[in-house]
Amino acid sequence: MVEPRKVIIIGSGPAGLTAAIYTARAQLEPLIIEGEPSSTGDQPGGQLMLTTEVENFPGFPEGIQGPELMSNMRAQAERFGTEFLTERVTAVDFSERPFRVQVRDQEFRAETVIISTGARALMLDIERETELVGHGVSTCATCDGFFFRGKEIAVVGGGDSAMEEATFLTRFADKVTIVHRRDELRASKIMQQRALDNPKIEFAWNSTVTELHGEAALEGVTLTDTVTGEHRRLDVGGLFIAIGHRPNTDLFKGQLQLDDEGYLVVRSGSAATDIEGVFACGDVVDHTYRQAITAAGTGCMAALDAERWLEHQG
């Protein structure tokens, strides 16, 4: 059997990296399996890798770029001896101790596992969406906004990410239409106000995108009114999807308790899951706050819980 590690951390957003900093400083020699590159939110560094300016992370009065914040956290975890593996976990087995964590044909064993796999962007789930990704349909405004200089585009969603993306995209696009299924926004007041005050941004209230048009690239979308059921066409060359996230918990189905929306369930006021020695933190347990700072906070909780649990085991 391979020598069991004291701690394996799965996922490397703010939660996972904070857990790594704490467990590394506690000399638990954590291994963090940080994931693989992707453009959807489950990549190393997490969702902040797809953002631009982060203005509300305490300690950065002038703001900081999302990817830079994450590379700082990674360097900090590395400084105290965290070991990194840039792969995706393919299976876990929590039915016996030490727990098993599988990366393809390579197996790791660990006395405690901290899960911080986060969440990834939801898609609209309508026809032709997948084939038009990279041809006008996008989930990453910071990656793709540049290609829509002088064009008209739409952003779907009513939360902070949608407002941030729409505001950012006005740097390039002539006009941005925010398509939202209700008549009020879920976004924070400051982000709402910024979007509402922007002369390049218009709103399509009570609307959903139900059809995509265009052959080689997107040329327009059909909007359906959620109240009257009426259809109308909106000619846009780009469609940015920011309708929320889904927790990355497929790996843990059948082994850990999930709630109705697929989030991991932890004991109130702690990071403990229903299996002793397995802890969870960050967006994978949080459908309420979903902030970098709350993820980092619960990452710290998971690390301290794991440390105490290990001490208890002797």
Binding mask 147-186 for another protein (x = CB under 8 A): xx--------------------------------------
Position 89 contacts another protein (CB under 8 A): no
Side chain identity at residue 307, one-letter code = E
DSSP state of 179: E
Stretches 23-31, 44-52, 77-85, 302-310: which one binds another protein (CB under 8 A)?
44-52
Query: Based on CB atoms, which residue is closest to another protein, 27 or 86?
Result: 86
Let me know the angle formed at the C-alpha of 115 by 313 and 30, rounded to the nearest 5 degrees. 60
Q: Does 134 help bind another protein (rule: CB under 8 A)? A: yes
CA-CA-CA-CA torsion sign (266, 268, 269, 272): negative
CB of 47 to another protein, least distance (A): 10
Among 36, 53, 93, 127, binds another protein (CB under 8 A): 36
d(CA 81, CA 133): 39
State yes or no: residue 146 binds another protein (CB under 8 A). Answer: yes
Q: Which of 279, 283, 285, 282 is nearest to 308 (CA)?
A: 279
Distances (CA, A) of 99 to 109, 113, 146, 195, 284: 5, 8, 45, 47, 20
The yes or no reply on residue 50 touching another protein (CB under 8 A) is yes
Q: Is 30 in the site for another protein (CB under 8 A)?
A: no
Cβ neighbour number for residue 284 with a 10 Å cutoff:
28
281 is a catalytic site residue: no
Contact residues: another protein, CB under 8 A: 36-40, 43-45, 49-50, 66-67, 86-88, 104, 133-136, 138, 140, 142-144, 146-148, 216-217, 238
